[in-house]
Structure 1
């Protein structure tokens, strides 16, 4: 059989089980005439008679009996897939709010945060602006300061250092230009820090951290990155000392009423372990020189 229509096979199954078009119609809600046409089309497609048609009902031919055994197996598999699919969409989703750099870090370490066997799903909400955890725009936020609201709980997961970086082929002796985030999009402290340095010559602006990263890799100039991004990228080198003004503590933040939900508690614990394990990288203690 080639390219069989599964709907026609299901009509065949209903007719075989009910012994005729009327019973199949009652099961499916499809008219007997339509079912009859679909079964006939199936027979023409495979070139075999599947039923002996009598006024008292439909009975299977030898070919029909053979096909029925296969269709029953197919139907059982299809039902199990439907049940699995419904079960997946009933799983709770945990929404994680983070900036571009931490989202990238989580994506590259996803196998340490989630597996297909977990009884929850993850929704990454990447944005430099802070989503409102009090009003549950997200379930977990990765933040650079302790929350002010009494409705939020927080767990410290270490520190983050920043430094200037450039491409390994960038000529730091000859070229002194910088790449930054434009003033209209400078939301993060590192982006605002560069804007405040009046003695630095910024020649190229980006509007997203990811584009900034790509420009640095291309050799466009120097730029500021978290050390866990810059030091982990073999295409980049440090272009100066750590920027002490940008050093900060990092927190996992969640709503007090939700932090004991099993899926949130599990994901917070995994995130904390992952970030804490990588603290030398986050603190700038693994520079590429």
Structure 2
């Protein structure tokens, strides 16, 4: 039998922790179908059934529980090595987990968050899937819902509105096509919302939000964006009113044991102040006429 790769075992760990493929997909960024195939391949390679599959989720078999104990030990060792390696640097690192759009917003406003004289460094962890803050995969997360469990603390930072946008040269009278994120990569609520609109004609697909944005700017069709992205882009115009069912609160999330560390506390205050200053933009109140 071949040695199983750590990446497959790591997917197994996420499925075991989340109790199914959907939760594991949110954590890893892989689609549920991809995770299901890789877990099945792992079972075949090992010659053991690791999960009992039901409509309500995945539960570990006896062999699965035995493997979980071994993988947890491997995961702990990997984190220990990572923490040891990070400890080699004298200046602490603050990792921020956020989706593509919030990472873009922070990047263009970096001067409000960090200066070369600061006694900490920043690492942006950009992914639509949420990193596990309870297991310290990042120090700060920007989330669209209040965290449940995991010894986490959260601070509300306003609301985010969404609307359809298109290029300023797109013919909204003649053309009715849309641009969306493909089903295997549709992790965010806005991407899933568009897929659920059976009366809309999606003709172009992307697999990342940034590609979706580029396609909209190129005139490929209409697409859904956060208002703080679309309203700030002079190449785009709104193609309809805000989609109220996508409006959500936004939270800064951090591990409860770490939130008083000076560098984390400083960055949290700066992030909260930056987003608060731009609340009309985030709430969709700055649409260009």
Q: TM-score, normalised by structure 1?
A: 0.69
Residues in 2 aligned to 1:105 and 1:89: alpha-carbon distance in whole angstroms:
27
- 2:163 is the counterpart of 1:163: yes
The unaligned stretches of length 5 or more in structure 1 are: 1-87
**Matching residue of 2:199:** 199
8 Å CA contact retained: 2:161, 2:243: yes
**Matching residue of 2:186:** 186
Residue aligned with 1:225, SS? strand
8 Å CA contact retained: 2:134, 2:150: no
1:12-31 equivalence runs, <5 A = none
Q: How many aligned residue pairs are there?
A: 203
CA RMSD of aligned residues (A): 1.2
- 2:253 is the counterpart of 1:253: yes
Residue aligned with 1:245, SS? helix
Q: In the TM superposition, what whole-angstrom CA distance separates every residue of 1:11-35 from its partner, at most 9, and x where no partner exists? A: xxxxxxxxxxxxxxxxxxxxxxxxx
Residues in 1 aligned to 2:200 and 2:271: alpha-carbon distance in whole angstroms:
36
Residues in 2 aligned to 1:142 and 1:247: alpha-carbon distance in whole angstroms:
15
- For residue 149 of structure 1, report the CA deviation from its aligned partner: 1.1
Residues in 2 aligned to 1:133 and 1:150: alpha-carbon distance in whole angstroms:
8
1:1-289 equivalence runs, <5 A = 89-149=89-149, 151-289=151-289
Residues in 2 aligned to 1:149 and 1:126: alpha-carbon distance in whole angstroms:
23
Q: In the TM superposition, what whole-angstrom CA distance separates every residue of 1:74-115 from its partner, at most 9, and x where no partner exists? A: xxxxxxxxxxxxxx9310000000000000000000000000
Q: In the TM superposition, what whole-angstrom CA distance separates every residue of 1:35-93 from its partner, at most 9, and x where no partner exists? A: xxxxxxxxxxxxxxxxxxxxxxxxxxxxxxxxxxxxxxxxxxxxxxxxxxxxx931000
| Larger CA Rg, structure 1 vs 2 | 1
Residues in 2 aligned to 1:89 and 1:218: alpha-carbon distance in whole angstroms:
43
Q: In the TM superposition, what whole-angstrom CA distance separates every residue of 1:197-239 from its partner, at most 9, and x where no partner exists? A: 0000000000000000000000000000000000000000000
Residue aligned with 1:148, SS? coil
Q: In the TM superposition, what whole-angstrom CA distance separates every residue of 1:148-196 from its partner, at most 9, and x where no partner exists? A: 0150000000000000000000000000000000000000000000000
Residue aligned with 1:166, SS? strand
Residues in 1 aligned to 2:157 and 2:276: alpha-carbon distance in whole angstroms:
6
Q: TM-score, normalised by structure 2?
A: 0.69
Residues in 1 aligned to 2:203 and 2:236: alpha-carbon distance in whole angstroms:
19
Residue aligned with 2:254, SS? strand
- For residue 124 of structure 1, report the CA deviation from its aligned partner: 0.2
Residues in 2 aligned to 1:153 and 1:232: alpha-carbon distance in whole angstroms:
31
Residues in 2 aligned to 1:174 and 1:114: alpha-carbon distance in whole angstroms:
46
